[in-house]
Amino acid sequence: MHEMSIALNIIDIAHEEALRANAKKINEIEIEIGTISGVEISALEFSLDIAVKNTFLENAQRKIIPVQAKAECLECNSIFSLTTFYEPCPNCQSLTINILQGKELRIKSINID
Amino acid sequence: MCDTCGCGQPNDEVTIRKPGDEKHHEHKHTHEHEHEQDHEHEHEYQSHSHERTIELQTDILQKNNLIAERNRGYFEAKNIFVLNMVSSPGSGKTSLLERTIKELGNKINFFVIEGDQQTMNDANRIKAVGAPVVQINTGNGCHLDANMISRAVKELDAENNSVMMIENVGNLICPSLFDLGEAKRVVIISTTEGDDKPIKYPTMFASSHLCIINKTDLLPYVDFDIEKTKQYALQVNHHLEFIQLSVKTGEGMKVWYDWLRNSMKNK
């Protein structure tokens, strides 16, 4: 259940940024989670529900945006979407691929007052 | 705050101890020391500002990654070769460490950090074979993080030109996300597990450098297909190296020792 660690990190970062900006409250937070990052969005939502109590994020709207994993085939240079780490290139079936995106764990933005 | 449920129970604190320290429960640090500001703190504001959006693009694991890089710098400066050993519980991580220290301990200085939810058992086993060791008990936590290593390293005070083996909490999922500052990540799988583990838990195999397949002495008795495992693992990570061995019989241990010596030289 590493999603709780991720949730606590999100709260810490949002807290620090809100203080730095002299914010009264955080209205909304946008979080980007890669589809092969190893973090389950539903588990993260569940963890955040509990962890945000009595923090800056308690009443903030949360937008969790999945980032679709993409890879580049090192044999034929095709770029394709993938749902797992081990999908062959749809063009040439090679498994020698380089993951371009999908591992993101990022706070994109916060909207504050 | 506890990693698992978010509660603040003191039982869930991470403890870092050397064998023999069992009775001392004075924790100099707690999780809370990282926070400069209290969550419950009331803020007074003289002026109110307009609603605005701040673009952050901040890596959620930036704190861990920053501490991991600091650890890495410390290890590099002291020429300490650090391995992060990850696996399911029961794959034979501690036995591998024990045998390695017994057989190479007169040539290489080993230091060990043990990670488990509870007990000093593994640290006691490592101490018995003669290597300096600290035990991290994560309480309810399911993985080691860079800050725990930073604290443990200060307790351990490892010598220059040595090898540090970090035995992570037995778990194939959570530890994969947390860089500790290691030079290499070693994933261990044993022949009593399913041979499709690399594709069931791809994140760990994707982030490792070496895959050790242990308990090869049991191959005649189990339905484990080594070639299939390697194939699956290479699908996930085409850079992965493999060593198959039996810690019990010693078969293949020489290949592991050669890998260790070469990696120390070429790191």
Kindly list the strands in the beta sheet with B184-190, ordered across the sheet, starting from the edge strand earlier in the chain: B15-17, B133-137, B110-116, B163-167, B81-87, B184-190, B210-214, B241-244
Determine the average pLDDT of the residues in B64-82: 97
B179 near A CB under 8 A: no
Q: For residue A96, which residues of chain B lie inside 8 Å, CB to CB? A: 238
Cα(A39)–Cα(A104) distance, integer angstroms: 10
CA distance B160 to chain A (A): 33
Q: For residue B37, which residues of chain A lie inside 8 Å, CB to CB? A: 15-16, 19
B53 to A19: CB separation less than 8 angstroms, yes or no: no
- Examine the pLDDT at B27 and tell me if it is beyond 50: no
Q: What is the ipTM of this complex?
A: 0.90
Determine the average pLDDT of the residues in A6-24: 95
Query: For the purposes of burial, counting CB atoms within 10 Å of the CB of B116, is it exposed (0-12), middle (13-18) or buried (19 or more)?
Result: buried
CATH number of the structural domain B62-266: 3.40.50.300
**In chain A, domain spans:** 3-112
Rg (CA), chain A: 17
Q: For residue B28, what pLDDT is reported?
A: 47
Is-contact B97 B85, C-beta < 8 A?
yes
CATH number of the structural domain A3-112: 3.30.2320.80
Please give the residue that has the higher pLDDT: either A16 or B42. Answer: A16
pLDDT grade, residue A86 (50/70/90)?
confident
Q: For residue A11, which residues of chain B lie inside 8 Å, CB to CB? A: 39
Cα(B15)–Cα(B166) distance, integer angstroms: 16
pLDDT grade, residue B13 (50/70/90)?
confident
Determine the average pLDDT of the residues in A16-36: 95
Q: For residue B3, which residues of chain A lie inside 8 Å, CB to CB? A: 1-2, 4-5, 8
% of chain B residues with pLDDT over 70: 85
- Examine the pLDDT at B29 and tell me if it is beyond 80: no
Query: Of A30, A31, A27, nearest to A57 (Cα)?
Result: A27
pLDDT grade, residue B217 (50/70/90)?
very high
Task: List, for residues A42-62, the tens digit of each pLDDT value.
Answer: 999 999 999 999 999 999 999
Which residue in A24, A51, A105 is closest to B61 by CB distance? Answer: A105
CA distance B148 to chain A (A): 14
pLDDT grade, residue B45 (50/70/90)?
low
Question: How many CA atoms does the CB half-sphere of B227 hold within 13 Å?
Answer: 0
Q: For residue B57, what pLDDT is reported?
A: 94
Cα(B131)–Cα(B108) distance, integer angstroms: 10
A39 to B177: CB separation less than 8 angstroms, yes or no: yes
Rounded to the nearest 10°, the torsion over CA A94, A98, A100, A105 is 120
User: Which of A67-71, B21-25, B137-141 is predicted with the least confidence, judged by mean pLDDT?
Assistant: B21-25
Q: What is the mean pLDDT of chain B?
A: 89
